[in-house]
A and B are shown apart, each in its own frame.
Chain A
Amino acid sequence: MSTDSTHAGHDHHVAHHFRNAEHEYLTSKEGIWLFMVTEILMFGGLFVGYSIFHNIYPEMFAEGAKYLDWKMGFINTLVLIFSSLTMALGIYFLQKNQPKKAVVSLAITILCGAIFMVVKYFEYTHKFHLGIFPGRLLDVAKVGAEHANLGMYFGFYYCMTGLHGIHVLLGMSLITWVLFRTIRGDFNSNYYTAVEGVGIFWHIVDLIWIFLFPLLYLVG
Chain B
Amino acid sequence: MKLLAARRRHPMALVVLLLVGLLMTGGAYAVFTTNSTASAEEYTAQDVEEGEKLFVTNCATCHGMNAEGTENGPGLVGVGAAAVDFQVGTGRMPLQMSGPQAQVKTPQFSEEQISQMSAYVASLGPGPAVPEDEYLDASQGDPAAGGGLFRTNCAMCHNVVGSGGALTRGKYAPNLSEVSEKHLYEAMQTGPQNMPIFNDANLTPEQKRDVIAYVREVSEQPSAGGAKLGSLGPVAEGLFIWFFGLAAVIGITVWLSARSK
Do A and B truly interact? no
What is B's interface to A at a CB cutoff of 8 Å?
A: none
